[in-house]
Structure 1
Amino acid sequence: MRITAAEMLGVQVTPRTNWCFLLIRTDAGLTGLGECTLSGEEAGLAAEAARLGARVAGEDPLLRNRLCPAPPHAPGGLVAQTVHSAFEAALWDIAGQAQGAPVHRLLGGALRDRITLYANINRGASPRTPEGFAAAARRAVAEGFLAVKLAPFEPLIWLEAGGEARAQHAAYAEGLARIAAVRAAVGPDVDVMVDAHWRFSPGGVAALLRDVAPFGLFWLECPVAEANLPEIRRLRGMANERGMRLAGAETLSGLGAYRRMIEAGCYDVLMPDIKHAGGHEEIRRIAALAETAGIEIAPHNPTGPVCHAHSLHLCAVLPNLLWLEVQYGETERFFSLVEGGAALAFRQGAAAAPDRPGLGVALDETAARASPWQPQPRPWLDPRLG
């Protein structure tokens, strides 16, 4: 069996969201799927996929160790790392299809058949008022989720207050109001997490930790840029003193990047994303190193169904798994864009480990090509935040 082509297929699924998939085709008729969604970088992903296809054409897709060495210094940065991660995942899909076994069985077998999920309600909240966030949280809880996450602080960027200090203070107050509304909506028995999307300075987070303490957050996520490890460690201590965890590292790639975080004691919870971190094998190495430091793993998974399916296989085999993120309430295409999508259904805040060969789902290419990706003039996340 040989690889014949690699293609990035981008799909617009809502007016503000594109999902991107990597298709690895073989002369045996098998197609492996990975997801390489990276908002605003679709053209770069397509170019990187074309370079990958030229490099791996004619290769045996079962030789993952040879084809997927980790590229820690890829000139293409996160774009290249994301395509590399999708490629590694797609090769596992091909291997599973060839052997008639789900990916998690090839990874040594599932430790659990049921993966606990938490609902990221951020894109499903409309309007983006405290009441809109509260309503989204109530919908998630009604479907059985016992934990919800929101990113409440748009459009605040703490370090850029300048002459806009009054507007920044208003955005901060609105963020706190959104958190308060969600906590009131779900009650004390549902965990609430807050994603700060690197919007704060270390001093700003110190104030934030004080202000959110009454809401009993389970964790605060990505509060500051992840280059300043001593400050993150200090903030972790402050969070722990107030009864909450600190979580992050969703856009890092490779064991080396995570090793520095683990050795510095930055986070209680690491959030490697199978789209960026290097694929199944690299995240298993990251999780193993984290386990030696007592750190839990909660994979970042806020995009499309292919990333979700791969994340389910991964979560089935991680000993130190906490739970898995899902993008809740954004679009029903999450289930309809893939054949076998019913197997991805959320049931009482959990999902089953897939049991079909390979990834367990296949992309509906006809439906995908009917709505090609579109440039996003106003990206969801301010590009200044990374």
Structure 2
Amino acid sequence: MESNQLALQEKIYLLPNGNITTPKGYTAGGLHCGIRKSKLDLGWVYSEVPASAAGVYTTNLFQAAPLKVTQESIAKENKLQAIVCNSGIANACTGEQGLKDAYEMRQNFANVLGIEEHYAAVASTGLIGELLPMEKINQGIASINDEENAGPARFETAILTTDTKEKGMAIQFEIDGKTVSIGGAAKGSGMIHPNMATMLSFITTDAAVESQSLHTALKTITNKSFNMITVDGDTSTNDMVLVMANGQAENQPLNESHPEWQVFIEGLGLVCEMLAKEIARDGEGASKLVEVQVSGAVTDEAASAISKSIISSNLVKTAVHGADANWGRIITAIGYSGQQLDPTKVSIGLGTIPVVENGMPVPFSEEDAKAYLLKDTIVIYATLGDGNGKATAWGCDLSYDYVRINASYRT
């Protein structure tokens, strides 16, 4: 990591019990409305004031109805005040009725909170092709102000599908002498692939940030975090990352010309990277997080493509699951990445264990390599020797349980 990045990160503090409501002016909650058999299935986040907002969305051509409604909300003023999300049913591939249901969900949510309709965002995740049970959802929305439904932990739980654990965190740092917080929550476990996936991530901050700068920052950071993870190579219909900045920290509005803009960028990037890694770690059936670090590529873009090629390889993922130091699968994935490189300059390491140098195998201890691959976090290094391009991607191993989970997803 470069020295200026280290210096910036020294100013940022990870809060042990931080969550999406750590930033000033936010509340959240979750309840069971009856979409799922017994689990919480309706969650929301609310800001006391309208907040600058930005979003990024799935690249799948079958965009679900909630994404269209949310994009319309943000487009009106580049602001949001609240987000409502259901799990269990995705409201995707549901035609005109699905779009009407998403609008109805937004309208009723805004009415209960007493906010402008276009200040409300809608998200859904779950089974594709089924209509939402709107009577149940509307009854749930009517109860969101009930005290027993409040709390960020309930929100984190309500948005999950096949996830095995909640994903939430927060950090703090100073800007203009004011304490600024960024919090986040995410869901995602299967159908995770670079360029968005069956993934939702919601980020809040009490920093004051100009809307266009927030949008540019989120797009750039997403390409280095959420778009650098994979579980199974599938890209879904409902994925989005939303960020709200409500200005309650009372700093001077942030943009690219602010002297402490890079502190904010480093903080937002850290939150996105940590949430992305938690999604990759929680891949369906996964037993370990896999990180691929590529350096020495012709460009950063080339390094990104190569790291994605390695992390997406089912043969690499199954070898990691079996603790098999089969470096030939890594070489193969590099070779079919479509990127310019000199094979005689490629070196590969499994953690601190070199297995290939300058395109040729080197002796290594199979026992040591196996012991390393049995750990719950694995780092694969690929050094190319062609330039200064570098990138990091994250994924997980591919296990027998992945097939079991997805073979019976609808039942």
TM-score interval for Structure 1 and Structure 2 normalised by the shorter chain: under 0.3
Higher RCO (CA < 8 A, seq sep 6+): 1
TM-score (norm 1): 0.26
Which has the greater radius of gyration? 2
Q: Which has the higher strand share?
A: 2
Q: Which has the higher helix share?
A: 1
